[in-house]
């Protein structure tokens, strides 16, 4: 049996898509230590540096001392400690929603909510570049599922014209910011279609929450705000802690409590983790300069390289070939910078890339230096 697995690994290695875990130590100011080398990282989703924030760390420590290191059981048994209530109320208020529910992770959120709120009589439409967690959630549900071309309003209209009339309920899944390309969903146009075709929008805003729309998320970039039925977000990126959440009508949250298996059958988050999220959300509410800095840094990088203006904190430079992406990543690492090479199956074949994520911790000097290195490598 072991030989079978060795053969699979050899095949992955030959295709330049084999992965290896490397011990990494993250420090403040975007510093990371990998392979015993100190690097400036452009491959971290800690957009606001809150994982290293003294007040966030202090909140975590205080809660851990008071409540212990773990929740002890699932939320529906005895793991629903009182910090959950505070965080969920704060999230719902900040996101201008009725109620909220916190899950163990963003991945658990997506695989839990989709089967919980849909049935075999529903139609589900989703963007082809949706996250792996959304794709798995879709596989776990019984609804009729149709994929539409990335951000293609015309393709979406074609599907709706053909299929919508056959179903009483229809949901559309999209992302606020698409994690591999950094572009945003066309929420204004999608929300107008929702009025015409009567469907509900479910928005995965893992990479928009905390950094766009004054921290509230991608839909708050638009005036008026598009109507979103269910807002999904993560606590492990801009918030700098861990977990996932949804903001939705209270009746939906009550349904989630009863039907979302990834919530029901998993242990609650540690009190210290929840306390850290509460403190981070407070910082995001009150520090607009902090939340605006990542997108400013991404914009500065694009200006230096004559790239299109970014729509988020994520900028991808596509080099197509897997080995070329790995070689470019190694070149940057040799010169003191860490940028991970993204390859299939994470992205489609022939779209391997260097994916740069910009944070509030990056300095102009960091950005100028790495842009010069990118220029020298590509020219």
Which residues are catalytic, by number? 45, 131, 175, 179, 204, 207, 237
Measuring CA to CA, which residue among 215, 301, 271, 230 is closest to residue 86?
271
The CA distance from 337 to 332, in Å, is: 5
Quick check: 119 and 97 in contact, CB under 8 A? Answer: no
Residue entry with tokens 């020298």 = 376
User: 177 by DSSP, 3-state: which?
Assistant: strand
Question: What pairing do the DSSP bridges indicate for beta strands 144-148 and 122-127?
Answer: parallel
Residue entry with tokens 């079978």 = 4
User: 334 by DSSP, 3-state: which?
Assistant: helix
The CA distance from 44 to 339, in Å, is: 9
Kindly tell me the burial class for residue 318, based on how many C-beta atoms sit within 10 Å of its own C-beta (0-12, 13-18, 19 or more). Answer: middle
The CA distance from 79 to 67, in Å, is: 11
Provide the angle, in degrees to the nearest 10, between the axes of the packed helices 187-197 and 153-163.
10
The CA distance from 296 to 290, in Å, is: 10
The CA distance from 137 to 311, in Å, is: 27
The CA distance from 93 to 84, in Å, is: 14
Q: Give the distance from CA 118 to its chain's centroid.
A: 22
DSSP 50: G
* Element (DSSP H or E) covering residue 189: helix 187-197
Tokens, residue 276: 């850290």
CA dihedral angle for residue 6, residue 10, residue 16, residue 22, rounded to 10 degrees: 40
């Amino acid at each position: 049996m072991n030989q079978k697995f060795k053969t699979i690994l050899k095949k992955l290695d030959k295709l330049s898509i084999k992965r290896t875990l490397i011990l990494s130590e993250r420090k403040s100011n975007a510093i990371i230590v990998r392979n015993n080398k100190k690097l400036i990282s452009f491959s971290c989703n800690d957009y606001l540096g809150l994982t290293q924030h003294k007040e966030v760390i202090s909140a975590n420590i205080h809660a851990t001392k008071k409540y212990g290191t773990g929740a002890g059981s699932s939320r529906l048994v005895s793991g629903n400690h009182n910090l959950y209530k505070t965080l969920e109320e704060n999230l719902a208020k900040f996101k201008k929603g009725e109620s909220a529910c916190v899950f163990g992770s963003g991945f658990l959120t997506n695989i839990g909510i989709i089967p919980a709120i849909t049935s075999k009589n529903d139609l589900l439409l989703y963007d082809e570049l949706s996250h792996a967690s959304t794709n798995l959630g879709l596989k776990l549900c019984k609804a009729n599922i149709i994929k539409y071309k990335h951000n293609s309003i015309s393709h979406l209209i074609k599907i709706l014209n053909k299929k919508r009339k056959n179903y009483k309920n229809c949901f559309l899944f999209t992302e606020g910011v698409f994690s591999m390309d950094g572009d945003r969903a066309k929420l204004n146009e999608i929300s107008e279609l929702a009025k015409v075709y009567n469907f509900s929008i479910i928005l995965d805003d893992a990479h928009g929450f905390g950094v766009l729309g004054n921290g509230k998320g991608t839909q708050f970039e638009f005036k008026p705000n598009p109507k979103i039925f269910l807002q999904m977000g993560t606590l492990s990126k801009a918030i700098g802690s861990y977990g996932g959440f949804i903001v939705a009508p209270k009746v939906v949250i009550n349904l989630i409590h009863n039907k979302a298996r990834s919530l029901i059958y998993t242990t609650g988050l540690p009190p210290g983790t929840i306390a850290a999220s509460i403190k981070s959300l407070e910082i995001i509410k009150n520090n607009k300069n902090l939340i605006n800095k990542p997108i400013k840094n991404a914009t500065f990088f694009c200006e230096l390289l004559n790239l299109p203006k970014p729509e988020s904190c994520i900028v991808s430079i596509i080099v197509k070939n897997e080995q070329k992406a790995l070689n470019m990543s190694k070149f940057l690492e040799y010169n003191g910078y860490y940028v991970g090479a993204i390859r299939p199956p994470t992205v489609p074949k022939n779209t391997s890339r260097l994916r740069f994520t910009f944070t509030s911790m990056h300095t102009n000097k960091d950005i100028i230096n790495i842009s010069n290195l990118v220029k020298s490598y590509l020219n």
